[in-house]
Amino acid sequence: MLEGLTDQQRAAVVADHHVLLTACPGSGKTRVLTHKVAYELQRLTGKKMVVALTFTNRASDEIKRRLDRMDIDATKLWTGTIHAFCLEWILTPYLGYLPELKNGFVIADEYKTEELLSTLRAAYDFTWDNITTRLKPDGSFAEQVSKYHHFLREYHATLKEQGLIDFDQLLYYAYKLIASYPKIARTLNNFFQVICVDEYQDTQELQYEILAKIITAKLDNTTLFMVGDQDQAIYGSLGGVARSLSDIKASFGNIDINEMKLSGNYRSTQRVIDYYRHYQTAAIDIRSMCAYAGQQGQITFNETVDKDSLAEHIAEIISERITAGIAEKEICVLAPQWWLVIPMGRKLKQLLPDVNFDAIGLSPLIKSKENIWFKVARLFLVDPAPNMYFVRTRWANELVDSLQTMGIDIFDSEQRKAKKLLRVFNLIKSDHTVGLKYLEDCFIQLLAILEIDIESNANLKQHWTYFFVGTQRRLDDPQYNYATDIQSFRRLFRHNQGVVVNTCHGIKGEEFHTVIAFGLLQGYIPNRNEADQVSAAKKLLYVICSRAKKELHLIAESGRMRSRNPMFATLQLASVRFDYDN
């Protein structure tokens, strides 16, 4: 299992103390983290488990896929985002202790919170104001400008009225529980052999506090393994705090944490590295160790393409790269803001109908992966093909666990529940051709076979309403123009296939042969909320450019306006002197 790792990487994997592993992009931090998980899984004894906290759901899916490929039994692994962790391990099991939530709740996904916030913003005339919805450990607003507090109180009241909580409240309630009831932290500490944290530099204050409670509940029991890179801290505007080693030690009750390093880059050509080093905030030399280190590749910078012909321009680059033999999933189109990305994904799909896309916003299904009906839907929408066997088994296991946390124990106490459940899924058929009708029909059949009475489980019913009402609302929204047929629904779930179209935050930690980044404009990068504008711009450009293995196409399109003024390339990008290929 330790094969294919460098000495430095191997030392980190086998370390049996708390570790903070910091290193440059492409140096193998995620690879080390995956091997660490595999290594610890094989050493587990008793009922202990391994936890791997990732920044995105995509990243945790990738860890699971890599373990599948390494043929590692991952049943004792829990991996997901910190929000999902708090939900599953703290909020759901200890809900009874919180009078605010004990009657059940549904997590509002990003679409829903965005919808609520934009309606309220309009009512308050705050449409363009940057207001944070984060909460501090004591439950007060992290937002420092007091004129926004009334707005935030109304936002919380609206969520409450609809039986919802947002991601910030989820963290806060989890913290409140773990801080008020020490036995929760002790129980989790007993359960977990090691907690691995990817991208530690973007961890929020509340997240550090929650982890600290678990790690310090009983010393020398649960090991902390954090990996990241301070230069890639891009969540400042959303509360991420890239703490130094001494600050991290202090947050964890001054436990001993060893700092370990990796050197070399196994992802990019030296030319790509030399380019993105312009955006480093600490001058660290990075050497490419790839077999293709010396290749020229392509690095372009375009400031002239107009926003109205931008999609055609990007479609052309994609077609050329595919014709040159680059796999679709090795091409990534990204931008700093999700509202730039969603219409781009749609336009590219129209312009290149034969190309597969893995783009955010192409799916009308509610975005909350925590919604139990989302978990059911994906099992109905992905065919039981042999290459999907591991993935579907994992999904079925997750579903069994989620049902259990809702108090529903299927197939009594029998073993191999996931396998039995998959057999039930494979039996169910529907003739409906409209996607949402098809799902509803299948869900009803599933409930009948499993003998689950949805009317007697308020939480299950709440999730159902949220799933169908939310999805229908999006299907009805003319600005999206979603296809409603079942075949289109199925296409949305073709996992991990096609050209990726996403935000820079959504693909953190990933890598692609070709990266095409647009919207690199002053005003979008850096985000207005960032305290240190120069460093925030550099870090975002650093993250974007370091995703590329060989090709980088940077675009600061013309024709976009802000406050009636034309927008121009981000200053830190415009000021770089480089021998571009255009």
Check whether 28 is labelled as a binding-site residue: yes
| 46 contacts 37 by C-beta, under 8 angstroms | no
Shortest distance, position 290 Cβ to ligand ATP, whole Å? 8
| Secondary structure (DSSP) of 22-71 | E--TTSSHHHHHHHHHHHHHHH--TT-EEEEEESSHHHHHHHHHHHHHTT
Look at residue 329 and give its three-state secondary structure.
helix
The answer to whether residue 266 forms part of the interface with ligand ATP (CB under 6 A) is: yes
Q: How far apart are CA 225 and CA 13, in angstroms?
A: 9
Nearest approach, Cβ of residue 504 and ligand ATP (Å): 12
Q: If residue 333 lies in a helix (H) or strand (E), which one and from where to where?
A: strand 331-335
Member of 18, 25, 55, 375 binding ligand ATP (CB under 6 A): 25
d(CA 391, CA 389): 6
Interface with ligand ATP includes 31 (CB under 6 A)? yes
Q: Give the shortest CB-333-to-ligand ATP separation in angstroms.
A: 18
* Closer by beta carbon to ligand ATP, 109 or else 229: 229
Q: At what angle do helices 372-381 and 435-449 cross, to 10 degrees?
A: 110
If binding is defined by CB under 6 A, does position 143 make contact with ligand ATP?
Answer: no
Among 80, 297, 506, 509, binds ligand ATP (CB under 6 A): 509
Question: Quick count: other Cβ atoms within 10 Å of Cβ 487?
Answer: 9
One character per residue 536-575, x = contact with ligand ATP (rule: CB under 6 A):
----------x-----------------------------
Establish whether 384 is an annotated binding residue.
Answer: no
Is residue 327 a known part of a binding site?
no
**Of the candidates 275, 352, 288, the residue with the CA atom closest to the CA atom of residue 320:** 352
Selected binder of ligand ATP within 22, 27, 193, 402 (CB under 6 A): 27
Q: Which of residues 392-411 bind ligand ATP (CB under 6 A)?
A: none
Comparison of 27 and 133: residue with beta carbon closer to ligand ATP: 27
Residue 24 annotated as lining a ligand binding site: yes
| Residue 414 neighbours by CB distance under 10 Å | 9
Q: Does 70 contact ligand ATP by CB under 6 A?
A: no
CB of 412 to ligand ATP, least distance (A): 43
- Shortest separation between residue 320's beta carbon and ligand ATP, angstroms: 24
Give the span between the Cα atoms of 559 and 327, in whole angstroms: 32
User: Is residue 270 within 8 Å of 293, Cβ to Cβ?
Assistant: yes
- Binding part of the chain for ligand ATP, among 19-27, 107-115, 208-216, 410-418 by CB under 6 A, reads 19-27
Instruction: Give the x/- contact pattern for ligand ATP in 220-239, rule: CB under 6 A.
Output: ---------x--x-------
The closest alpha carbon to 4, from 44, 40, 34, 43, belongs to 34
In this structure, are residues 419 and 402 in contact, taking their beta carbons and an 8 Å threshold? Answer: no
Shortest Å, Cβ 126 to ligand ATP:
35
- Site for ligand ATP contains 56 (CB under 6 A): no
The annotation status of 30 as a binding-site residue, yes or no, is yes
For residues 129 and 147, is the Cβ–Cβ distance under 8 A?
no
Binding site for ligand ATP (CB under 6 A): 4-6, 9, 23, 25-31, 229, 232, 266-267, 509, 511, 546
Indicate the annotated binding residues for ATP: 23-30
